[in-house]
Amino acid sequence: MAGRTQTILLLLGMSLVRNYADTELKLDQAVLTVTSFLPERVGVLYVSNACYECLPQLLLTAGPASPEGVPSNVSVVVSTRFPLAMDVFAGRDETNVVCRWQQSYGEQGHYLVSVKRVPAEKNQTEVSCTRTVQKEPQNSYLPLWIAFAVLAAVTLLYFLGYYISMQQCTQERCRWLPCKPTSHEPNSPDCSRPVAETTKRRRLLSLDTFRGFSLTLMIFVNYGGGGYWFFEHAAWNGLTVADLVMAWFVFIIGTSVGLAFHAMTKRGVSRMQLVRKLAWRTVVLFVIGVCFLNYGPADGPLSWSWARIPGVLQRLGFTYFVLALMQTCFGIKDLDSYQLGNWWASVRDVLLYWPEWIIAAALETLWLCLTFMLPVPGCPRGYLGPGGIGDYGMYRNCTGGAAGYIDKWLLGENHIYRHPTCKELYKTTQPFDPEGILGTINSIVMAFFGLQAGKIILMYRQQPWSILKRFLIWAILLGIVSAILSNFTQNKGIIPINKNLWSLSYVTTLSSFSFVLLGIMFYVIDVKNWWGGQPFIFPGMNSIFVYVGHSLLGSYFPFSWEMKSPASHTELLLQNLLGTAIWVFIAYLLYKKKFFLKI
């Protein structure tokens, strides 16, 4: 009778486990069930591999097995984003670890750990933790691979059709093409001509394409990126796809300022007119960022008591203001007179703008001094960590170090971002703004590297290969600086790569990437004319409209809808790709109508 009772109770416990497994989980979740046959309490501690120097956290506790030997069962939801290190302890002492393992859990999977005593040597027993998979996880990356294959096929078909059209092109039949290789009109762009003969007559299409590519990727990740972790911002140190786009955008601002202000100066626009223009644009960007992109409809009326002051457009606006003011004050109107004849002609793109280099160096020195020398109450000098359970819990309230302290001191805790990316993983409690004051200094420095790219294009516009060589040199130099600062590691360098802080290594790394990417696009689009930049060039030429529009309307249909399968990446990825594609199509329609929103 006792054996039958034990079997019934065991089967009842396992049925409860199966019922828990049948419940609908969210994205990046699995079920872990611990079945304990020990006569004492059992607990499980865990640490995510993505959490650097973190204190172990209690995952679950299971009571002792019954005197009849019926085990206790406890189920819990675990994250599948990163591998988890597990420690099982017996009794009340968390240091009495009896089992230890590290495992990556699959999405929607159901895992079982059976804890029991087994015979050992010399009539002794030891605790064994047997791990089995009760329900196989889903292949969460299959929708992404399918989407990638479809996009690759569409891209291949587009270029194949474009190539065939170019082979059979005549002036009358190919007016829709960006260039007409058989055109004999004196003012029409010719695909066979080198960039030296065409850059004076048309926009730098590679820059518009780079801007549009960054904006398109930004829309996709802002809409959710299909729910994949690498399309979200890194919890603290390191890089994901989402950490690239804003830095690229800042770099493009610098390049655009260099080209646009040089053109306006050559047209005879006075410095006072330039100052009025840059001041107006800065104010408009700041107002849009604070008043329109600060909250969602579900938040109710905007209140100045909790309105967030920093933001993406605010940072972009202030960065633009500083760069444009520098270019207005120190820009050179007649660059042709410095082309040849001087011993320093090969580095004239640097030496001619020495006042701007001094300003950029001063700004970076200011960032370094404030970051590593400013005393922060309760925190060590130069602290760059996330606080919370990081650094083994020694600096729980030191999130962001000097950067977080300055924002709270100048703006107040109620006016900065309260849900930083480190909050979930590092269990932080302090607000921290990724678009804060100290990081804006390095945003200006990154835009300055973009301005340097613009100067290279202006100085060597008749020599496209010189442009490409200088882009490559800058990419290598900045990459070496990044390697030294980060020590080729994610967390152990002098200054880790960190988007939240806009650390110096983040700036140099993303600037290196930007030089490479812009150089490739410049070669393919402006030098060889192999590609017209479609479809990215369309949002790139209406960036303000598209950015503000996608931010305001992202939660409305058809950009978003109630999903039938919220636990699957498939529908969410389709939703995010469709929302992104709609904005690209809207930008295309505006391009066809020759509508370009300018501030």
pLDDT at 7: 43
Please say which residue of 115, 135, 155 terminates a domain. 135
Lowest mean per-residue pLDDT among 149-163, 177-191, 412-426, 571-585: 177-191
Phi/psi region, residue 331 (left: phi>0; alpha: psi -120 to 50; beta: rest), is beta
Rounded Cα gap, residues 85 and 588, in angstroms: 49
Rounded Cα gap, residues 378 and 434, in angstroms: 21
pLDDT at 435: 94
- CA triplet 543, 549, 552: central angle to 5 degrees? 140
pLDDT, tens digit, 9 for 90 and up, residues 338-371: 655 565 666 777 788 889 999 999 999 999 999 9
pLDDT at 182: 41
By CB neighbour count within 10 A (0-12 exposed, 13-18 middle, 19+ buried), where does 174 fall?
A: middle
Please say which residue of 113, 135, 157 terminates a domain. 135
Domain membership flag for residue 281:
yes
Rounded Cα gap, residues 42 and 542, in angstroms: 59
Q: How many domains does the chain have?
A: 2
Return the CATH number at 106: 2.60.40
CB count in 10 Å sphere of residue 304 = 9
Which residue has tokens 């066979």?
Answer: 192
Task: Please indicate, yes or no, whether residues 488 and 395 belong to a single structural domain of this protein.
Answer: yes
Going by pLDDT thresholds of 50, 70 and 90, the confidence category of residue 193 is very low
Domain membership flag for residue 390:
yes
Which of helix, strand or coil describes residue 371? Answer: helix
pLDDT at 298: 55
- Any idea what DSSP says for residue 383? -
Task: Please indicate, yes or no, whether residues 101 and 209 belong to a single structural domain of this protein.
Answer: no
Task: Please indicate, yes or no, whether residues 219 and 94 belong to a single structural domain of this protein.
Answer: no
Lowest mean per-residue pLDDT among 51-60, 240-249, 327-336, 413-422: 327-336
Please say which residue of 95, 118, 135 terminates a domain. 135
pLDDT at 249: 93
Domain membership flag for residue 165:
no
Which of helix, strand or coil describes residue 34? Answer: strand
Higher per-residue confidence, 164 vs 300 = 164
Task: Please indicate, yes or no, whether residues 406 and 310 belong to a single structural domain of this protein.
Answer: yes
Domain membership flag for residue 152:
no
Residues whose CB is less than 8 angstroms from the CB of residue 4 and which lie 6 or more positions away in sequence, other chains included? none
- Once rounded to an integer, what is the mean pLDDT over residues 486-509? 95
- Once rounded to an integer, what is the mean pLDDT over residues 246-260? 94
Domain membership flag for residue 191:
no
Whether the pLDDT of residue 18 is over 50: the answer is no
- CA triplet 113, 118, 120: central angle to 5 degrees? 135
* H-type alpha helices, 183-293: 205-222, 242-266, 271-291
Task: Please indicate, yes or no, whether residues 94 and 8 belong to a single structural domain of this protein.
Answer: yes
pLDDT at 185: 39
Question: Judging by DSSP bridges, how do beta strands 125-135 and 29-36 pair with one another?
Answer: unpaired
pLDDT at 257: 94
Whether the pLDDT of residue 489 is over 60: the answer is yes
Residues whose CB is less than 8 angstroms from the CB of residue 163 and which lie 6 or more positions away in sequence, other chains included? none
pLDDT at 254: 95
Domain membership flag for residue 199:
no
Domain membership flag for residue 228:
yes
Average pLDDT in the chain: 86
Length of the chain: 599
- Any idea what DSSP says for residue 523? I
58 strand-pairing partners: 45
Task: Please indicate, yes or no, whether residues 107 and 208 belong to a single structural domain of this protein.
Answer: no
pLDDT at 196: 39
Going by pLDDT thresholds of 50, 70 and 90, the confidence category of residue 295 is low
Question: Judging by DSSP bridges, how do beta strands 110-119 and 29-36 pair with one another?
Answer: parallel
Q: Find the domain containing 536 and state its range.
A: 204-592
pLDDT, tens digit, 9 for 90 and up, residues 168-191: 665 555 554 544 444 433 334 444
Domain membership flag for residue 341:
yes
pLDDT, tens digit, 9 for 90 and up, residues 110-143: 999 999 988 877 666 788 899 999 999 988 899 9
By CB neighbour count within 10 A (0-12 exposed, 13-18 middle, 19+ buried), where does 484 fall?
A: middle
Rounded Cα gap, residues 567 and 143, in angstroms: 13
Nearest CA among 517, 115, 543, 472 for reference residue 313? 543
Whether the pLDDT of residue 335 is over 80: the answer is no
Whether the pLDDT of residue 278 is over 70: the answer is yes
pLDDT at 294: 67
Task: Please indicate, yes or no, whether residues 126 and 211 belong to a single structural domain of this protein.
Answer: no
Task: Please indicate, yes or no, whether residues 97 and 209 belong to a single structural domain of this protein.
Answer: no
Rounded Cα gap, residues 312 and 330, in angstroms: 27
Which of helix, strand or coil describes residue 442? Answer: helix
Going by pLDDT thresholds of 50, 70 and 90, the confidence category of residue 11 is very low
pLDDT at 13: 44
pLDDT at 443: 97
- CA triplet 43, 48, 54: central angle to 5 degrees? 85
Lowest mean per-residue pLDDT among 48-57, 102-111, 165-174: 165-174
Which of helix, strand or coil describes residue 62? Answer: strand
Nearest CA among 150, 147, 171 for reference residue 220? 147
Which of helix, strand or coil describes residue 213? Answer: helix
Task: Please indicate, yes or no, whether residues 103 and 215 belong to a single structural domain of this protein.
Answer: no
pLDDT, tens digit, 9 for 90 and up, residues 525-541: 999 888 888 899 999 99
pLDDT, tens digit, 9 for 90 and up, residues 432-478: 999 999 999 999 999 999 999 999 998 888 889 999 999 999 999 99
- Once rounded to an integer, what is the mean pLDDT over residues 505-520? 97
Q: Which residues are catalytic?
A: 233
